[in-house]
Structure 1
Amino acid sequence: MRILIALTLALTATSGCAVLDRLKPATAATAATAAPDASDASEPVAAAPAPVLGAGGNTAAALDTTTAAQKQAALAAPAASGERELGKVTVSLGSPAEPGIWLRSALVTAPGKGRVVTASGQSVAVDLLPGQGAAQLSLAAYMALGLSLTALPEVTVFAN
């Protein structure tokens, strides 16, 4: 009887591992070595190549759709006389698919125009957008300010 229980537990544990392996997402290495279905025996199976930065339209410069004139105007925009400081916030990179020079933050209650200033004193005019959670700065604003795309800089936010 003990042998039967031990054998049942061993088989259950082994079959559980196979179930867990099917739940894990396939990596490029396992996808490339996976055997094709019998129904697809006539077609060879190949893993999709990994994207290479710079090979297509997937670089930061390619995703930034703002014009040089727009960036120049945003960087040259002087501080408005009636602007008010909304506060300081740490920003992360916003969606690269969303064009423009903008800041989305909980500090902003209504859409408008404003400016962000980095700790080093660099400034860029932005569209202020209300948001929730972590503040986000657009790809174009990151690039105009010369920030690393992986940086989490603290900026001071001003509204016009």
Structure 2
Amino acid sequence: MRHFLLVPLLALAGCGLFPAFDERPGPVTGSVTGPSAPQPATGIAPAVSTTALGARAVSAAALDSTTAEQKAAALSAPAASGERALGKAVVALGPPAEQGIWLSTALVDKPVQGRIETAAGKSLTLELRPGSGGALLSLAAFQALGLSLTELPEVTVYTR
């Protein structure tokens, strides 16, 4: 029993060895050499030069290297005989740096040629690429179909 009482007493006695545990903040006396208290503002800050949001951005047309002829050919290609519908997908804009006319979708497991059709009836021949998660449509495909880059259209996906 004596050992159990002795341990807490020794622990409390050791607290005096560490001054950080013993010191309590008190009133400051004498001169202070640290940073001074914040002073109230006495003037107006100079104007900051800013640019409009997106002033340094690159336009979608500058990022798309697909020619008008390539887009026209993809739009005019008729539906192939024997093609089959894979399903519908809501598409978002894919990485603009990836050139070409393509759709990345979980509906395919290897790159194949295919076609998509919008709800408005516009059809586009393109490369179907395997993907995971949501479907992504290339910048060139968005522009060829005349879709807004912020739109999330639903398309029907076909493979040959």
Q: TM-score higher than 0.5 here? A: yes
Within-5 A mapping of 1:56-75: 58-75=58-75
CA deviations over 1:42-64 (Å, ceiling 9, x no partner): xxxx87885427xx7x1111111
Aligned amino acid, residue 52 of structure 1: A
Structure 1: state its 5+ residue gaps.
6-31, 34-45
1:106 aligns to 2:109 (yes or no):
no
Pick closer, same or farther for the CA change 1:150–1:80 going to 2, 3 Å: same
Per residue, is there more helix in 1 or in 2? 1
SS at match of 2:95: coil
Q: CA deviation at 1:110?
A: 1.3
Within-5 A mapping of 1:117-136: 117-136=117-136
2:55 alignment partner in structure 1: 52
In 1, Cα distance between the equivalents of 2:156 and 2:100?
A: 19
Aligned amino acid, residue 59 of structure 1: S
Aligned amino acid, residue 142 of structure 2: Y
Percent identity over paired residues: 58
Aligned amino acid, residue 146 of structure 1: G
Aligned amino acid, residue 55 of structure 2: V
CA deviations over 1:71-108 (Å, ceiling 9, x no partner): 01000010000111000010000000000000000011
CA deviations over 1:114-134 (Å, ceiling 9, x no partner): 001001111111100000011
1:95 aligns to 2:87 (yes or no):
no
SS at match of 1:151: coil
Runs of 4+ in 1 over 2 A off after TM superposition: 46-51
In 1, Cα distance between the equivalents of 2:119 and 2:51?
A: 43
Aligned amino acid, residue 123 of structure 1: S
Q: CA deviation at 1:4?
A: 4.3
1:151 aligns to 2:136 (yes or no):
no
Q: CA deviation at 1:113?
A: 0.3
Q: How many residues align?
A: 118
SS at match of 2:72: helix
Supply the RMSD in Å over aligned alpha carbons: 2.5
Pick closer, same or farther for the CA change 1:146–1:48 going to 2, 3 Å: closer
**TM-score using structure 1 length:** 0.67
